[in-house]
Structure 1
Amino acid sequence: MVPLIDTTVDGHVHTRLCKHAVGEMEEYVEQAVRRGLTTVCFLEHLETDIAYQPPCWLDDDEFAYYFEEGLRLKERYRGVVAVRLGVEMGCNPAAIDAIRHRLKRYPIERIGLSCHFHQHGLSHLNLLSRRPQSLDRLAAIGADAVISTYFATLIKAVASLDCDVLCHLDAVLRHLPGITFNNEHRGQIAQLLDAMQGKDIALEINTSGFDYRGSAFPAPWIISAALERGIRLEAGSDAHHPSEVGRYFDQLPHYLEPLCR
């Protein structure tokens, strides 16, 4: 029987290069070896035309280093653990063509789709940040409206951009207390899953959620809806420290098994 999810592959790790994680690329690879993983995939942040400070993504020079060092690690650890080089592509709906242009410039092996920012006037607010500068303003705009825009952005991104996996689908406003999805949001999630099914985009089971809320991203009911559509599940730790590579992967088979009934 084919397993529901491959827990020997961590498809989502970051490094110090994104400016909000710590550790060198090789430290993450070494941890993957210690964990007994077969594959570790870096998914460094690629954002385009986002007006937000401080930046929490890679610039062109950092991407040049990223791919150079990644190729070195591929060779050094060949036969020990597979090293893959990807990006976590943030969708800015006002910059679709520019995103496509940037993706063509790099030897990207895996594209994770996400949406981290909400446009507010001439600037952007960080949807996943604890910083009051974003969180307070997003709350003032109204959680329901912000969440609706978030899902609409992901729906547009799936239709407009190529990607392999959708990351932390329901992590929007994860630091704002009392967040719930209304009927409109649930309809948008269904539309999003249908679009993913049509383009064979995998759903990430992001185990950072166990630390944030005691369950993976996305919620169990979303995972069940994805499985009903035959959408593939892929594991990602969203590691921001080398010790987090493969975190909670040992729990995933037991966690997911009831959701596929």
Structure 2
Amino acid sequence: MTPSIDIHEDGHVHTRLCNHAVGEMEDYVEQAVQRGLTTLVFLEHLETDIRYPQPSWLNDEDFAVYFREGERLKQQYRGVIDIRLGAETGFNPAAIPIIRRRLADYPFERVGVSCHFYRHGDVHLNLLSNRRQSLDKFAAIGADTVITAYFNALTEAVATLDCDVLCHLDAVLRHLPGICFNDGHKRQIEQLLDSMQAKNVALEINTSGFDYRGTPFPADWIVAAALRRGISLRAGSDAHQPSEVGRHFDRLPAYLAGIKSLSTSGATK
């Protein structure tokens, strides 16, 4: 039997409020309705104490707009599509108490966890940036060092935060050529999945990966390892413009059917 995933729910979309996407919230809802989705989850960026020159997240004023407009849309589209308001919580190991407080202050209906930034001296570097300057800095620091810190951060995030889903697990340094995970990184991923299993945290199948590398985030062997642990899967487009809502969801059943043999054999890459 093909692993279960709901391809009529997009659990991860962003809007102009995050400062690096386009489109109003209603634009995303309309696109979801047109695509025949039954549920749309806004998972807007929440970052805490990040020192980065171009904010790519919402501030408190933005979240006020977010919830006000989200509640309006819930009423307007009641009976048409289920709309949920969540957060993609960027993990900062130096700000755990503040992150917890902020999550408690907002009525989030889903909390995703991710890690977008790496502390380097007195500033942060964007782990998912395609800017040449950022990539050169990461190359100078050493990809293995950065990746090790990334997986340590995700494991700590799952252990210390109340969260529902882990987003784009292996997207770290996705724009740095020649990236691969060594045996130590693979052990970290196994430990991370163990933590997710223990806390009943779902794994996101992020279909933006089809556009970046031809397969979703995370890699098939990671999904297989998650399935062996009974970890549930959530589909997320990581849309940053309305046209990307539900992107490539039609490819997921066949993709996951191909992973079934990996999950039963225990194979890794």
Query: TM over 0.5, yes or no?
Result: yes
Task: Tell me the residue number matched to 2:201.
Answer: 201
1:35-79 per-position Cα deviation (integer Å, ceiling 9, x unaligned): 000000000000000000110000110010001000000000000
Match of 1:141 in 2: 141
In the TM superposition, structure 1's runs of 4+ consecutive aligned residues that sit over 6 Å from their partners are none
Partner secondary structure for residue 88 of structure 2: strand
Q: What is the deviation of 1:143?
A: 0.1
Q: What's the counterpart of residue 160 of structure 1?
A: 160
Show the counterpart of 2:28.
28
Which sections of structure 1, spanning at least 5 residues, go unmatched?
Answer: none
Cα distance in 2 for partners of 1:59, 1:138 equals 27
Q: Which residue of 2 aligns with 1:216?
A: 216
* Structure 2 partner of 1:189: 189
Report the secondary structure of 2:105's partner residue: coil
User: What is the distance in 1 between the residues matched to 2:132 and 2:120?
Assistant: 15
| TM-score, with structure 2 as normaliser | 0.96
Q: Give distance in 2, aligned partners of 1:186 and 1:253.
A: 26
**TM-score of the superposition, structure 1-length normalised?**
0.98
Q: Distance in 2 between matches of 1:2 and 1:31?
A: 27
Which residue pairs with 1:105 in the alignment?
105
SS where residue 45 of structure 1 aligns?
strand
> For the residues of structure 2 that align with 1:21 and 1:176, how far apart are their CA atoms?
22
Match of 1:132 in 2: 132
Measured after TM superposition, the shift of residue 3 of structure 1 is: 6.0
Q: Is the 8 A contact 2:3 2:260 kept in 1?
A: no
Asked if 1 retains the 8 angstrom alpha-carbon contact of 2:2 and 2:256, the reply is no
Percent identity of equivalent pairs: 70
Instruction: State whether structure 2 residue 88 is matched by structure 1 residue 88.
Output: yes
Match of 1:63 in 2: 63
* CA deviations over 1:162-197 (Å, ceiling 9, x no partner): 100000000000000010000000000000000000
Equivalent-residue separation in structure 1 for 2:155 and 2:147 (angstroms)? 12
Give how far 1:259 is off: 1.0
Q: Is the Cα contact below 8 Å between 1:126 and 1:135 reproduced in 2?
A: no
**Paired residues, number:** 261
